[in-house]
Structure 1
Amino acid sequence: FDKIFLPIFYTLVFLLGLFGNFIVMAVMIKYKHTLTATDIFILHLAIADILLVLTLPFWAIQAVLGWIFGDLSCKIIGSVFKINFYSNIFLLVCISFDRYLSIVHAVQMYKKHKTLLVHMSCLAVWGFCFLLSIPDLVLLQSVNEIRYNTIECLHNFSSNTAYYWRATLRFLFHVVGFFLPLCVMVYCYVRIILTLMGSQGFQKHKAMRIIIAVVITFILCWAPYNVVLLTDTLISFNVLNQNCDLDTQIDIGKSITSSLGYFHCCLNPFLYAFIGIKFRNNFQLLLNQIGCKCMKKHVTPQKRNSTWSESGETTYSAL
């Protein structure tokens, strides 16, 4: 199943993820003087998505030929993947919290035209995610997978510490990498929705739809994988009984649901950039400047509004 499904799906995610996120980066770097705090978070999110999808061809090759790149590449590529997996999630949390402060409490955490603090916050996120990936850097090796009679890039636990490390890695993934970020995002967006419901105007309804879409997309993409992996975790710790049929179903389930999670990288540009008037106008202007005469009228770079409003008001003027 993996030899057929994973190469096809990973290639699709690789191409779409690179295309969408490179467009986001190109537009934002071109008009970097207009970037707001949320835009900078989105830029770092695009970088994390690109670095994550760049690892997918290696996993696609592994599905067909096994891991043929050696131990060092296994550690590096596996760690890069995990760093950007965590960065992707925690940058979404940063965007949610920044919008929560701005809209619910009318507090500007990051002052306009002072982008250094935003970049420092992003670097702190990257640093924290690097720390979370250290177990992968230590434990990942080219291992002979007996069930498939092939070499794979896997965590190689010693018999004495296997239980401890397996529990630690699963705790980091389930709790730190999904449950806690999800709780923060849901709380922030519920409060934002309640605040918007108390305001007047048509724009709030569009903003609420987008907010709901953000949360639902995150849940739909990552919840299935966490459910399947949680089942695998319960089997590993003998909470559930193990049998061959269940093992096969979990293996296939992990392949499908993890691929769905990676597809989230392709959706981020649409959720956080393409839906914003500012981004669309700047993108059209960039196309015009490189020779595409596709604009119906002249547009100028937008300077104030982000995908999310940068003011403490309860409406989104950029949507």
Structure 2
Amino acid sequence: MSNFTENYTYEEYPYVDDLLPQPCQFTFCVSFIRSILALLVLATILGFLCSVALGVTLAKCPHLWDRRHPGKHKLFLMSAATTIFATTLAFFAVEVKQGWVFGYHFCQVTRGLKHGCLFAQGLVVAGSACPISWDHLRSLLLAMLWIVGFLCATPAAMISTPGDVCAPSLKPELHPWSLAHTLVFLAIFAILPLVMLLAKVALTWHGKNKCLQMDLTWLLYIFWSPYAIALLLDKLLQENLLTSTCHFQECLDYFLGISEGFGILHCFALPLLFLGLGLRRQRTSKAGRP
């Protein structure tokens, strides 16, 4: 048998590696690594400055938002959340440059805070749509929803595992947490606004259009709804509930990256918008005085 093996050639047969399917190539991060770093640095600086500026303006000029929708309590909670969100982006900017160097538990805390800020804002925006005449009760409700939003980020923290990057883990034992995170994100940024929008249309149809109040803070859902859909498709793909090709997976990878990048813009776009509206109201009020 040893002589047979030595003299045997495989020239007439294809290599085994050639028969195996080639892995899909994901090139989004490699293609946009510099753009990702620039976006994170820009969002960190502008998000922090704009959010702090909005918070200071709310504290010094609360009359600009009294009896207006959105009110000062809602905007203050949102500015606090965007400030924390922008701060967490600084650590991910360092991660892009030199990998995750902050440890296992800090990875969980950072990703938990990042998603908690998003969930808190999403719940606050939805909760403020219901008109409540008593200011103290409305403020208490919004504060409770803000805290619940951070609690909803527990699955995001549990599945966070640092390696070269701080990213969600695909370990089988963390599968329930991963599924819960996807469902929470989808519920807050896709299902909840859609249900409330349909309710608004139905109430308007019956002549009760003042029962639900919607304002510019609902732009938050426009920023993050695409990413919620991308997360859903990615989870369906992981669960083998979608039959796909490498081309589809590569397109989904781009969709995930671009939609998350678009969502990150909210941390300075929305505070800047609200700050501009407040300053405009101040000028208008001064111009109207005799």
Cα distance change on mapping 1:12 and 1:195 into 2, 3 Å: farther
Q: Who is 1:120 aligned against?
A: 140
Cα distance change on mapping 1:189 and 1:16 into 2, 3 Å: farther
Report percent identity of matched pairs. 18
Are residues 1:20 and 2:22 paired? no
Aligned mate of 1:131, from 151, 161, 175: 151
- Matched residues, number: 255
| Residue 90 of structure 1: how far off its partner (Å) | 1.3
Whether the 8 Å contact between 2:64 and 2:281 is mirrored in structure 1 is no
Cα distance change on mapping 1:6 and 1:31 into 2, 3 Å: same
CA distance in 2, matches of 1:231, 1:253: 10
Are residues 1:167 and 2:179 paired? yes
Q: Who is 1:152 aligned against?
A: 165
Q: TM-score, normalised by structure 1?
A: 0.67
Structure 1 counterpart of 2:180, which letter? Answer: T
Please list the CA deviations of residues 180-209 of structure 1 after superposition, one character each: whole Å capped at 9, or x if unmatched.
Answer: 1342256347757986999xxxxxxxxx9x
Q: Give the stretch that moved more between structures: 266-275 or 20-29.
A: 266-275
| Residue 127 of structure 1: how far off its partner (Å) | 2.3
* TM-align CA RMSD: 3.4
Cα distance change on mapping 1:76 and 1:162 into 2, 3 Å: closer
Q: Give the stretch that moved more between structures: 21-30 or 188-197.
A: 188-197
Please list the CA deviations of residues 65-101 of structure 1 after superposition, one character each: whole Å capped at 9, or x if unmatched.
Answer: 221211121011111111101011112112322xxx3
Classify the secondary structure of the residue corresponding to 2:128: helix
Are residues 1:141 and 2:170 paired? no
Structure 2 counterpart of 1:94, which letter? Answer: G
Whether the 8 Å contact between 1:93 and 1:185 is mirrored in structure 2 is no
Whether the 8 Å contact between 2:231 and 2:256 is mirrored in structure 1 is yes
CA distance in 2, matches of 1:196, 1:299: 35
Please list the CA deviations of residues 27-72 of structure 1 after superposition, one character each: whole Å capped at 9, or x if unmatched.
Answer: 1111347763721111111111111111112222223322121112
CA distance in 1, matches of 2:243, 2:256: 18
Q: Who is 2:134 aligned against?
A: 110
Q: Who is 2:276 aligned against?
A: 274
Are residues 1:93 and 2:126 paired? yes
Q: TM-score, normalised by structure 2?
A: 0.73
Extract unaligned runs of 5+ from structure 2. Answer: 1-30
Aligned mate of 1:4, from 34, 42, 53: 34
Rg larger for: 2
Q: Who is 2:93 aligned against?
A: 60
CA distance in 2, matches of 1:156, 1:223: 23
